[in-house]
Amino acid sequence: MLEALKKANDIPVPQALVQQETEGLKRQAAQQFGLGEDFDVSQLPDELFAEQAKGRVQVGLPLAEVIKRHEVAASDDEIKGKVEELAQQYQDPEQVVEYYMGNDQLKSQVQSAILEEKAIDVLLEQASVKDVEMSYQEALAAAQQQGEADEEESEEEGQEESKA
């Protein structure tokens, strides 16, 4: 669904937003690898995160518009419920819930995830699906053609970015 949204809204993305997202991904990677709060994320090369960051911005901008137009919101109860769901994978879930709910940045991240899920639900409600009958061989051929088209598109984007 998100890949289709990205393709349907092939818009130029502001480099400042891509850079901001890159920095966020670098911080997230540093946290996942336990590098500590004082780790200088500028030591991590932007190239490792740039493509993912651009993709997230390409999807995030249209989702933000859906959230705005449809007045999608996440209540405190929904946020707490999502945090409780996430906390179940930890040894002391209550402590995790308390930590998340007491940290505005973490709480905001959970809220953003909920809003994105709801925006995707809105898009799915509006999506139209077209059933096409085909044989197994035809389906394989279509999938292969789509894969080749995606590869060509990816190569073209890479060439355009190297020119910029």
CA distance 108 to 121: 20
Q: What pLDDT, on a 0 to 100 scale, did the predictor assign at position 94?
A: 94
CA distance 114 to 81: 10
Best-predicted range by mean pLDDT among 3-7, 25-29, 150-154? 25-29
Per CATH, the number for 1-69 is 1.10.3120.10
CA distance 161 to 140: 32
CB atoms closer than 10 angstroms to residue 85: 12
Domain ranges of the chain: 1-69, 73-127
CA distance 135 to 143: 12
CA atoms lying within 13 Å on the CB side of residue 158 = 7
For the stretch 117-161, pLDDT in tens is: 999 999 888 877 788 888 999 888 888 888 777 677 666 655 555
The alpha helices in the chain, defined as continuous H runs, are 2-8, 15-32, 47-69, 76-87, 93-101, 104-126, 136-163
For the stretch 29-63, pLDDT in tens is: 888 888 877 888 888 999 999 999 998 898 888 89
For the stretch 95-124, pLDDT in tens is: 999 999 999 988 998 999 999 999 999 988
